[in-house]
Amino acid sequence: MEIDDYIVASDTELVELASGGDQQAFEYLFTRYREALTRLFEQRLGDKDTAADLLQETFIKVYLHIGDYSRSYTFGQWIYTIARNTLVDHLRRRTNDLSIDERFRAPQATTPSPEESVIMNQSRNHFYSAIEELSEEYRQIIEMRFLEEYSYEEIAEKLGRPINTIKTQIRRAKAAVCKLLLEKE
């Protein structure tokens, strides 16, 4: 068979040739599905090396069982099912590799501990007292930007000032707050 014939051959034709021992037909099947399966593994795992290993494992299974392929499914469905099962097997093996402590470890707390709450409250109180010591102009800009979460453009519009002036004033106000906080420590 000529190379052009392999390129235009359908999956079914390539499967028939590959199951008859035609290595080039198998290579063309590999080339057709390699990128899609690699993407599948990388999206699920986020790891290119493991994705490459699973791709290789998938095609080994395809090679060994190509004679079992049934035309009741498209070749794409069949190979995708093998890939999905290979991924599931990998995830199971990975879970089985975890120690019993890691498997049943409680999830990390999403709320702060009592100590963290006290520290956060103290930090917040220091921040608010530092803001109170600022000039009225800086206090207003800091409150608008960081407490009310206005954008630079919104602050400039509300105060009727150029945006570059607002950026400069925010930078200076932040520096003043930092200086006050360091003095309080």
The residue among 2 and 10 whose pLDDT is bigger is 10
Distance CA 5, CA 157 (A): 68
Q: What pLDDT does residue 180 have?
A: 83
Q: Which CATH class is domain 3-103?
A: mainly alpha
Confidence band, pLDDT 50/70/90 cuts, at residue 162: very high
Q: Mean pLDDT, to the nearest integer, of 135-157?
A: 89
Confidence band, pLDDT 50/70/90 cuts, at residue 119: confident
Residue 164 has pLDDT above 90, yes or no: yes
Start-end ranges of CATH 1.10.10.10 in the chain?
114-184
Q: Mean pLDDT, to the nearest integer, of 141-165?
A: 90
Contact present, 64 and 107 (Cβ < 8 Å): no
Residue showing tokens 């200076």: 172
Q: What pLDDT does residue 168 have?
A: 93
Residue 9 backbone dihedrals phi, psi, to 5 degrees? -65, 145
What architecture is the 114-184 domain classified under in CATH? Orthogonal Bundle (1.10)
Start-end ranges of CATH 1.10.1740.10 in the chain?
3-103
pLDDT digits (tens, 9 = 90+) for 7-46: 778 888 888 888 888 888 888 888 888 898 998 889 888 8
With the CA atoms of 146, 151, 155 and 157 taken in that order, what torsion angle do they form, in degrees rounded to the nearest 10? -170
Confidence band, pLDDT 50/70/90 cuts, at residue 128: confident
pLDDT digits (tens, 9 = 90+) for 43-71: 888 888 889 999 999 989 988 888 888 88
Q: What pLDDT does residue 104 have?
A: 61
**54: CB partners within 8 A, 6+ apart:** 41, 45, 83, 86, 87, 90
> If residue 75 lies in a helix (H) or strand (E), which one and from where to where?
helix 75-96
Q: What pLDDT does residue 47 have?
A: 84
Q: What pLDDT does residue 54 have?
A: 92
Residue 136 has pLDDT above 80, yes or no: yes
Q: Which pTM was predicted?
A: 0.51
Confidence band, pLDDT 50/70/90 cuts, at residue 126: confident
